[in-house]
Structure 1
Amino acid sequence: MADHKHGEMDITVQEKTFDSFIWFVSRGTIGIIVFLIFLALVGA
């Protein structure tokens, strides 16, 4: 069995996926907040 060497694996794909996920979640959160403010102003 091979010895594990910390920091040797290429993680560029995982970093790109994580960055995309954070972008999506932050934009979704901003969208929901804007929608809730709109609902509060309209009085629905």
Structure 2
Amino acid sequence: MAEFKHGTMDITAQTKTYEGFVKFVVWAVVVLALLAVFMAVFMT
């Protein structure tokens, strides 16, 4: 088995994936909040 050295793994792909996921979640929350406000104003 190869010897593992902590902190030597390349995690750029995982970092980019996580950043993309966070951006998606933020945009989704903003869109859903705006939709809720729109529905509260115009669907009464």
After TM superposition, where is structure 1 displaced by more than 6 Å over at least 4 residues in a row? none
Unaligned stretches of 5+ residues in structure 2: none
Unaligned runs of 5+ in 1: none
What is the letter of the counterpart of residue 6 of structure 1? H
Greater Cα offset, 2-11 or 27-36: 2-11
Number of residue pairs matched by the alignment: 44
Aligned to 1:15: 15
Letter in 2 for 1:18: Y
- After TM superposition, list the pairs within 5 Å mapping 1:20-35 onto structure 2: 20-35=20-35
Normalization by structure 2: what TM-score? 0.90
RMSD: 1.0
Q: Under a length normalisation based on structure 1, what TM-score does the superposition of the two structures give? A: 0.90
